[in-house]
Structure 1
Amino acid sequence: MTRGTHAYYLCHGKWHPIHTHEERCRSRYIPVGQLDDLVWSDLCQLISDPTNLALALRRAQAGDWLPQEMQARQEQHRKALAALTAQMERLTEAYLGGVFPLEEYRHRRQELEQRLVALDQQNRLQQALIHQRMEISGMCEALTAFCQRIQAGLVEATFEQKRQMVELLIDRVIVTMGEVEIHYVIPTSLRSEHIRFCHLHPDF
């Protein structure tokens, strides 16, 4: 709303309760210039250093494996598989050599086969996680590339360009008394750079 030459943001809850169906909001009017400058400054800072964006993306995906940890787990699986395969071969040789009867051979072999199935399931899960981490790495690279492309134009951006950037990258700005919380939505592919957040499905 405007009052003379001054412009303010205000909560819809300030209207009469008959229109909002809830208590009237008691928050103060927020000067447009001050909030716009603060939001744009924060956006520029975020785009100028995309490191924090990549870290946030990895945290959102339940952490990040180091490459050496991935390799270590793959090596552990390889050794465990080789050990179980060798045990299976020795078991068969012992049975053929008459060391123990058929029933005991079947029992021991069944145990080893169950361990092999469990090992295979663990490996499948690990491969799925590795694939997911590779996808995340690709998203981080796309995110960083996006930030690098638009950094140069931030300083001299026109009002219209700033408006388009804010509509693309910010979901909402929440003001609670003296605190301002900004919810960002950062594109992770070329296609998503042309989709405003409000056009996405609510459960995206």
Structure 2
Amino acid sequence: MAIHSPPAPGNGYFSYSCGYGGVHRAPDTPEHTCRIDGNTVETLVWNAVVELLKNPKLISQAWGCDEAANIEQGEKERLENRLRSLDRQQERLLDLYQDEQIEKPSYLVRKQRLDEEQKNIQTRLLQIEQEAKSEQIKQELIEDFQQYCQRIQENLANPSPDLQQEVIRLLIDHVVVGKNEIVIKHIVPTDDDCRLKPQRLCVETGS
């Protein structure tokens, strides 16, 4: 977490400094003093955000929505086929037992093995269903985000401070400043906690 230093009188200079280099640092972190020019870092961050807003498909690529959906669909079909096969095996096993072709102990051991595999598959299918719902939420958010991007395009060249703050709050989780790089961590949506919910994409963009 950074500490924001206000602009110095007359020159508009301000900076960010690390608040965890002294007594509040982690046990495995050496003592340090870090400071970076605020205008520099904010310009870099805003330029990266503008690039994303001009090409909102980048966010769907970052989230890997399409790829994840395809993988889950293939696994779902495979597991459902296996579940049907296990149902048939259960029926054949019961027929063998009823026809007295296998002893009860053998029947119970084999049935337990089939029951356990069926239970595991059903559990995984439930997980896939929940993950599919999460992916659907992501897709809906991406569609809303694309519409949002279209609405604010004309304001990106000369944005108001309020627009900049709202956009950054919506899209960025945190920024990590390293020795030779700045890493911007974007928001990744979840079912229960996401800043990119459609009702939040309501920044006024008119002049």
Question: 2:154 — aligned with what?
Answer: 152
Provide the aligned length of Structure 1 versus Structure 2.
178
**Aligned ranges 1:33-48 → 2 under 5 Å:** 38-48=44-54
- The answer to whether structure 1 residue 89 and structure 2 residue 95 are counterparts is no
- Work out which of the two has the higher radius of gyration on C-alpha atoms and give 1 or 2: 1
Question: 1:125 — aligned with what?
Answer: 127
Instruction: Name the one with the larger helix percent.
Output: 1
Task: Report the Cα distance in structure 2 between the residues aligned to 1:178 and 1:98, rounded to whole angstroms.
Answer: 76
TM-score normalised over the length of structure 1: 0.66
Retained in 1: the 8 A contact 2:176–2:182? yes
Question: 2:191 — aligned with what?
Answer: none
Q: Using a 3 Å threshold, how does the CA distance of structure 1 residues 11 and 98 change in structure 2: closer, same or farther?
A: closer
Letter in 2 for 1:108: R
Shift, 1:164, TM fit:
0.8
- The answer to whether structure 1 residue 143 and structure 2 residue 145 are counterparts is yes
TM-score normalised over the length of structure 2: 0.66
Deviation string, structure 1 residues 126-153 (Cα, Å, up to 9, x no partner): 2122222222222222222211221123
Question: 2:164 — aligned with what?
Answer: 166
> What residue ranges of structure 2 are gaps of 5+ in the alignment?
1-6, 25-30, 189-194
Task: Report the Cα distance in structure 2 between the residues aligned to 1:128 and 1:108, rounded to whole angstroms.
Answer: 31
User: Which structure is higher in RCO with an 8 Å CA cutoff and minimum separation 6?
Assistant: 1
Q: Runs (4+) of structure 1 moved beyond 4 Å? A: 20-28, 34-40, 171-187
Shift, 1:43, TM fit:
3.4
Deviation string, structure 1 residues 71-120 (Cα, Å, up to 9, x no partner): 32222112111111111111111112221222322222222212211121
Shift, 1:123, TM fit:
1.2
Retained in 2: the 8 A contact 1:64–1:133? no
Task: Report the Cα distance in structure 1 between the residues aligned to 2:34 and 2:118, rounded to whole angstroms.
Answer: 65
Question: 2:200 — aligned with what?
Answer: 192
Task: State the superposition RMSD in angstroms.
Answer: 3.6
